[in-house]
Amino acid sequence: MTIKISVLVSGRGTNLQSVIDAIENKDIRNAEIACVISDKAEAFALKRAEKHGIDGVFVNPANFSSRAEYDDKMLEILKEKETDLVLLAGYLRIISDSVIEEYKNRIINIHPSLLPSFKGLNAQKQAVDYGVKFTGCTVHFVEPDLDAGPIILQKIIPVREDDTAETLAERLLIEENKAYREVVKLFVDGKLEIDNRKVRIKE
């Protein structure tokens, strides 16, 4: 069976690219990207999709009067594409509870900190400003509470004394890209099991 993945994006799309590459080079088997949905017309992620022959859709928030309406449209596209798994990859909008309910345990996000530290925006800057010695990234299932769903995988990197938010983000991105494709592979291979908040990786 082929797992159909839809990816929600707002920006440059390196995490999307990492998953595209892993599917193309057969590191991830039995999966395809059904579509990429963006809330920003200029998102470079849409160009990446186009280059790889993947359907890219820009859903313009200006055409909808509420988040619920916007997300209804998104849900319609996800269903039309027979989506099995939704990836948030640099998607800057909050997702309605109705979408999360519909795709329970089938929406995954990546966040550039070791959750539960430094939730929300500018997580790398938060880490530098706080003075932590290590930070990392977290791949997790999405629940209605922001950045609080069950944790699937984390990767850790040291924070250097001379790090700025930018230098840290750049080093972290390499780990993020690895973490995301590893998790997608685990999901597609049916290796993730959720027990309350705990995610177990089956052998």
Judged by the rule CB under 6 A, the positions of this chain that interact with ligand GRF are: 11-16, 89-90, 110-112, 176
Least distance (Å) between residue 144 CB and ligand GRF: 17
d(CA 98, CA 100): 5
Which residue in the list 111, 123, 135, 187 is annotated as catalytic? 111
Q: How far is the CB of 14 from ligand GRF (least distance, A)?
A: 3
The CB-nearest residue to ligand GRF is 90
* Residue 15 vs 83, nearer CB to ligand GRF: 15
Shortest distance in whole angstroms from residue 13 CB to ligand GRF = 5
56 or 112: CB nearest ligand GRF: 112
- Residue 140 is among the residues annotated as catalytic for this protein: no
Residue whose C-alpha is closest to residue 147's, from 122, 164, 172, 166: 122
3-state secondary structure string, 45-108? HHHHHHHCCCCEEECCHHHCCCHHHHHHHHHHHHHHCCCCEEEECCCCCCCCHHHHHHCCCCEE
Catalytic residues: 111
